[in-house]
Structure 1
Amino acid sequence: MSNNAESWNQPNVVSFFDTNRATTSDIYPSEWFFLKEQLKEGMSILDIGCAQGGFAGMIAEHLNDFTYTGVDISEEMISKAKEKYPQHNFHIVKENDYSKVTGKYDVSLVLGILHLHETWRNTIQIAWNHTKSSLILDLREVFEETVEDKKKSYFKMDINGSNDDYSEVLPYNLINSGEALEIVNSICTGAEKISFYGYSQDPAKTAVTPTNKIFASVYLAQKGR
C-alpha cells in the first residue's frame, strides 16, 4: 500500500487548509444538511481525517460547550491543528491503524476522505464502533460500475494549484450508488435509521476519472436510543 500520509504532508496541501475548511461558510451543503441537526450543547465529536481541525472551528460558531477529538494520518496537519485549537484533542494515526482512538462519541464524522484512500470500508467501521449515537460520512457515487482502481480513477495532489509533480496521487473511489447503500448498511450493523442526501456535481478539478458526473452523497447512520 502507498503511504498516503506523504501526500497529505505536502506543503501545498497543508497550506490549503491554513485558510480553507475552517468556518461554517466552508461546509458543503450536503455535509451541513445532517450536521446542523446533530449539534447539541455538551456533545462529544470524533472527526476522522480532521486535517487542521477545521470542524472544531465550524462547530464553535454554533456551540459553546462541546468536546472534539480529531485524528489524521498527516503529522503536519495535526501539528497545525494543535496550534489552532489547543483546547481540543488531536492524534496522529497510521492508515488503517486507529488504536489511538478510544471511547465513544455522540457523533463521529468521516468527511472528505473516504473516496481518497484504499481502506475506506475499515475507516467507516472504526467510526461506527466509536459512535454512541450518529455517524456522518460521505462518498462519491456513480450510476455506473464501481471503480476502485487508482490506475483508472485517481486524484492528483495539486490542491493549491502549485504542484507540478503529479507523482503523488491518491485513489479517487467511485462507488455504484446501489452498492454504496448496501456497504453502509452492512457496516453500520444495528443502525436504527440510515438516511442519505446528495446531489450531482462535476468530479474534483484535479481528479482523473472515467466519468464527467458524480453524485456527492452524505449518509447519516443513527443508533437506537
Structure 2
Amino acid sequence: MKSASDQQLWGSPTAVKFFSERRAGIEGLFRSESLFLNEVAPYVNNVLDVGCACGNFLNVFKTYNPIIRYTGMDLSRNMIEEARSRHPDTPFEVSDARMLRNSNRRYDLVFSSGLLVHCPDYSDVLRSLWSVASRYLLVDLPRISVDDRQIGSMDVELRYAAKAETSRTRGDVPYVLINATDLRNLTIDFLARRDIRGLALFAYDAFYHKQSIRLNVSKLITSCLLVVRGEGPSLYWVEAPSGVGSEFAATCEAFGSTRTDSIAEVLGKG
C-alpha cells in the first residue's frame, strides 16, 4: 500500500498544479497512448482511469468517443477534489488501485498511465486492474532496461515544479525500473490465463528527468501494454527495441500465441 507520506506528496500544490495544466487533449499524448487509444477508445462504452490525477484524460477520451462513460480514480484526495471541481458531472473517487481486486464492478476499458512506475508491487497492481477489465486493459509499464533492475526514487516537488521555481522540500516516491526477465514474468502472468485474446506491446527508447529521478542508468525504455480479454486464437503484436521486443515475442510464442502485424487483429477487429 502507499504510505501516508506518498499520498501527501502526490497531493502537494506543486503536483496538483502540474497535472491540472497538462495532458488535457490528444496533442499531449505519448506515442504509445495515441497508438492504442485510437484503436480502442472509440469502441468501448465506459472506461476506468486509475491514477487519473486531476481528470484531464476525460477530455482525451471524449475526443475519441463523445458518448463514453468515464470514471476517474486516484489515491490523492487533493487531486480528486480538483478533478471534481473541474468536472462536477463526472464520477471521481479516492481509492487505492489495489482495492479493485475486492470490487464487483467491471469496465470495458481499464486505463492507467504513470502509475506502475511508482509501484514496487507493480505485478499485484496489474492483477487488480485486470480484475475489473471486462474487455481491455491499457497501461504503461514500469520503465525498462534490458539488463538492469532497480527501485530508484523521484523527487515529486522537483519533478513537477515550474522551471523558474526551486524545490523547497524534498519528497521522494519510488521509481521502478524492470528488466527483460521481469517483462517476461508479467507477460507469462497474463498468458497463463485462459481468458486472454491477445497482447500488444509498444516500446521505445527514452530519456528521463535526471535532476529529479535517481537511477543508475543513462537511458531507459518506456512502454505501453494492451491486454485483450476473450476467446479464440491468441495473437500478439509488438514494436519495441530488439532486446525487449525479442523477449516479449519469444514469451508469447512459447505459449502458442501467433504474431500479427495488425493491432486490429489482436482486438478481434481484423
Q: Fold match, TM over 0.5? A: yes
Change (3 A) 1:198 1:135: same
- Quote the residue 2:177 is aligned against: 174
- Give the 3-state SS of the residue equivalent to 1:81 in structure 2: helix
CA shift, 1:187, in A, is: 4.6
Decide which structure has greater helix share: 2
- Give the 3-state SS of the residue equivalent to 2:99 in structure 1: coil
CA shift, 1:43, in A, is: 1.2
CA distances 1:46-95 after superposition (whole Å, capped 9, x unpaired) = 11100011111111122220111111000011011112222221110146
- Quote the residue 2:150 is aligned against: 147
- 1:187 and 1:11 map into 2 onto residues whose CA distance is 38
Checking the alignment, whether the CA contact within 8 Å between 1:109 and 1:137 is kept in structure 2 is: yes
Checking the alignment, whether the CA contact within 8 Å between 2:100 and 2:132 is kept in structure 1 is: no
- Residue identity opposite 1:194 in structure 2: L
- 2:101 and 2:137 map into 1 onto residues whose CA distance is 19
- Quote the residue 2:155 is aligned against: 156
- Residue identity opposite 2:199 in structure 1: I
Change (3 A) 1:187 1:59: same
- Quote the residue 2:207 is aligned against: 202
- 1:67 and 1:57 map into 2 onto residues whose CA distance is 12
TM-score (normalizing by structure 2): 0.76
Structure whose alpha-carbon radius of gyration is higher: 2
Pairs within 5 Å for 1:1-225: 2-3=3-4, 4-40=6-42, 43-94=45-96, 96-98=98-100, 102-139=104-141, 140-148=143-151, 153-157=152-156, 158=158, 159-161=160-162, 162-187=165-190, 189=193, 190-205=195-210, 206-224=212-230
CA shift, 1:203, in A, is: 1.8
Question: Any stretches of 5+ residues in structure 1 without a counterpart?
Answer: none
Question: Any stretches of 5+ residues in structure 2 without a counterpart?
Answer: 232-270
- Residue identity opposite 1:66 in structure 2: I
Checking the alignment, whether the CA contact within 8 Å between 1:124 and 1:187 is kept in structure 2 is: no
- Worse overlay, 103-112 or 78-87: 78-87
CA shift, 1:212, in A, is: 1.1
Query: Over the residues paired in the alignment, what is the CA RMSD in angstroms?
Result: 2.0
TM-score (normalizing by structure 1): 0.90
- 1:19 and 1:82 map into 2 onto residues whose CA distance is 15
- Give the 3-state SS of the residue equivalent to 2:79 in structure 1: helix
Q: In percent, how many aligned pairs have the same letter?
A: 23
- 2:127 and 2:112 map into 1 onto residues whose CA distance is 11
- 1:185 and 1:88 map into 2 onto residues whose CA distance is 36
Checking the alignment, whether the CA contact within 8 Å between 2:200 and 2:225 is kept in structure 1 is: yes
- Give the 3-state SS of the residue equivalent to 2:64 in structure 1: coil
- Worse overlay, 20-29 or 160-169: 160-169
